[in-house]
Chain A
Amino acid sequence: MADKEKKQKRRTIKNIAKERTAMPEQPPLIRATNFEEVALGYTEENAVREAQRCILCPKPRCRNGCPVDIDITGFIAKIDEKDYRAAYDILSDATLLPAICGRVCPQEDQCEGVCAIGKKLEPVAIGRLERWIGDMAIENNWFQVPEITPNGKKIAIVGSGPAGLACAADMAKAGCDVTIFEALHKPGGVLRYGIPEFRLPNYVIDAELANLEKLGVKIECNVLVGRLFTIEQLRTEMGYDAVFIGVGAGYPTFMGIPGESLNGVLSANELLTRCNLMHAADESYDTPLGIGNKIAVIGSGNTAMDAMRVSLRVGAEHVYCVYRRTREESPARVEEIHHAIEEGVDFHWLTTPLEILDDGEGRVRAMRCIKNELGEPDDSGRRRPVPIEGSEFEFEVDRVVYAIGTNANPVIGQTSDIEMNKWGYIDTDETLHTSIEGVFAGGDIVTGAATVILAMGAGRKAAEGMKVYLGLEDSEEDAKAE
């Protein structure tokens, strides 16, 4: 009888809501004038409705799509049962940062991208559910320190971005004495300086970092590893049993076209750091912003979208996106482009900058560009932009912001003998161990610029390798052999 009831209740693709539950948002023209969050988050009703769209596959593919291996159907089932606290406990087994990941992960390429119902219907809004539980946990202070048995091992983590935080959490849970070193005066790395307040509020970062500290992780800011002490010194005279390097790939690139040294040309990193870390738009802070009226942002990735949307919020009259391909080839998340268009960014697709023009006093006056058409696919599989002869045009701008990608940070390479490839990314084996014994690396400094969640995944993977290295855990192969 009980079995029969269960069977009747079982959800299938045929009996669930067809459309995903919409995310409440601030109206575009209002939000483009403030730094409040764009996506307001689900209500309980929204969340339960969305949770009930999950058919709880017995062999869920979503979990494999998650770089940090969250038991997704497990936590969603708990939302359905309205046992939200239990949902949080399942989440926090895999991630200490659900309120962050729920906001910034590209779920459409990961868990939601492989969701079983996604073939016919819109996939379950896993990210929105994760955020909802994460937010509730912050509000109700649900985080509980698990029982940790100290093992006497000292771990140093270099960089407090997503890779370092994920590695720190796992090592602290394993009983290690973990210290994170951060060069800036506030922790969080790209979460802090890169992602704007309206996508990821600082209070969320602070709350989730506080949980890490509750695990016993120490965070030391204002420490530039490599220069204050080296990676080698951490392992030798400073007595750390293992080190994780997660310094990212934050070195901004420019195109090498004429006019890049003019005042008014800057990297998206600089714009975002001034705004997010230094609060330049807030009058009570001293750092100047120097934003202009007409701003061209080169590139169409997530950083470009952030730079454009920040520019609108600090009062730019007109914000252009200049991208050599089309919307379809843009590396940014669909949602981000959609938001930027809604907020009034003017997109120049199929446009390549040729030169930035001087106003005669060393400042930007205008930009000269050329139009492209799409040719044959290139190595990336995307159709190559081909310049159209004679299509050059000029348009007036007073700021040009570069968001065309970043390279490896050079400081660790300059100050240590660690092996790197020719682009300055650190070489590792499959356990993320580097050429220096006991030193692991992961995230953008190994792979090149990627996403927050992939960096977190790398941090967790390095933690696994570290535990094996320290003899705290058998390697997977050894475990299988037994």
Chain B
Amino acid sequence: MYEIVAREDFSDQTFLLEVRHPMLAKAAQAGQFVITQSHEHGERIPLTIADFSKENGTITLVIQAVGKTTKEMQADCQVGASLFAMVGPMGIPSHISEDVKKVVLVGGGLGVAPIFPQLRAFKEKGAYVIAIIGFRNKELIFWDDKYKQYCDEYIVCTDDGSAGIHGLVTQGIEQVISKHDDIDELIAIGPPIMMKFCAETTRPHQLKTIVSLNPLMVDGTGMCGGCRVKVGGKMKFGCVEGPDFDGHQVDFDELMNRLGRFKADEKIALENWQKHRENCRLMNTEPEE
């Protein structure tokens, strides 16, 4: 069992868990992920590591409550509770090259937190670090200070213009590219549609673009093949050959189709869980009334 030692809610959808696992915290490197299972009957879900502290022996996960499993975690994963299983660090760590002197890190949606370890790693290697972070609106912004601490330039984009650039992260990328002609690498983490458009934005500039993919998987050890993605026309397993791939080579349309593989099941599972939750609530409150 893996104890939850801290929790922070960034919005009604996004929350942070800090989980105790000293060995994992010691082994983790930027770009890697874990698989968690909140209870014995739960799903195994991959989550990119958003931070790790060797000193505290903890790793940090930032979760968006969108389906049954993550909404249930949002409800149940309180400080003091434990995860049934957590295994990792999984995947090949990001390549943090000393040759990269100027790097752009783009995070959007569920990718805002997981971009952080790479950002910090590049800064610690002495690179000039530019972060472009996208949110729907100002209220959803988190880790502002944390990013600023490690960034040479920090650009926020919001869909509604309530903070920073009014627009998508791709506008931030255009702006940065026009200002700097010596960027070595761009790394984008977020929803596949965002990563696709980031890659399309950098393609004409021939700017090396790395994306971190989060396909569906069961074991995460190279055994099920559910996470297969097409990169440069070849089949790769996201879990053991990724999660980082060349964004200009990834077939994002296929990835997006495959992410919808269990859409119907997911919808039913969520509805059933919400019904069940509502029934429990009614059962509990009735006697008091």
Contact = CB atoms under 8 A, between A and B. Distances in A.
A229 interface: yes
A286 B69 contact: yes
Given A224-B90, A251-B240, A254-B235, 11 more contacts: A229-B27, A252-B225, A254-B228, A256-B235, A266-B224, A266-B225, A269-B224, A273-B224, A286-B69, A402-B225, A411-B221
Contacts, number: 124
Interface of A: 183-185, 193, 221-224, 227-229, 250-252, 254, 256, 260-263, 266-267, 269-270, 273-274, 277-279, 284-290, 362, 402, 409-411, 414
B23 A278 contact: no
20 contacts: A250-B221, A251-B225, A252-B224, A254-B228, A261-B235, A261-B251, A263-B257, A269-B224, A269-B225, A274-B218, A277-B219, A279-B41, A286-B68, A288-B265, A288-B269, A409-B221, A409-B223, A411-B222, A411-B240, A414-B240
B89 interface: yes
B24 interface: yes
Nearest to A261: B254
Interface stretch (B79-87, B97-105, B132-140, B141-149): B79-87
A250 B88 contact: no
Contacts of A263: 257-258, 260-261
A74 to B, nearest CB: 38
B250 to A, nearest CB: 12
Contacts of B85: 185, 221-222
Residue among B32, B43, B219 with most chain A CB within 10 A: B219
Given A263-B261, A362-B257, A252 B223 contact: yes
Contacts of B241: 410
A270 B226 contact: yes
B16 interface: no
Q: Give the 5 A-B residue pairs with the shortest CB-CB distance, closest first.
A: A270-B224, A288-B265, A362-B257, A267-B225, A185-B85
Contacts of A285: 41
Given A229-B23, A266-B225, A269-B225, A287 B219 contact: no
Question: Does more than half of chain B's interface fall in helix, strand or loop, or is it mixed?
Answer: mixed
B41 A183 contact: no
B266 interface: yes
A316 to B, nearest CB: 16
A361 to B, nearest CB: 8
B23 A183 contact: no
Given A261-B258, A263-B260, A251 B222 contact: yes
A236 B209 CA distance: 38
B53 interface: no
A269 B223 contact: yes
A120 to B, nearest CB: 44
Contact of A290 (B24, B68, B224, B261): B261
A185 B265 contact: no
A228 B88 CA distance: 6
B153 to A, nearest CB: 33
A175 to B, nearest CB: 27
A402 B226 CA distance: 12
B69 to A, nearest CB: 6
Interface string B220-264: 111111101010000101001100000000010010011011100
A261 B219 contact: no
B223 A227 contact: no
B258 A290 contact: no
A227 B27 contact: yes
B260 A183 contact: no
A288 B235 contact: no
A227 B89 contact: yes
B37 A250 contact: no
B123 interface: no
Nearest to B256: A362
Contact of A254 (B32, B92, B225, B240): B225
B42 interface: yes
A270 B225 contact: yes
Given A221-B85, A228-B27, A261-B254, A290 B262 contact: yes
Contacts of B43: 278, 286-287
A265 to B, nearest CB: 9
B120 interface: no
Contacts of B269: 286, 288
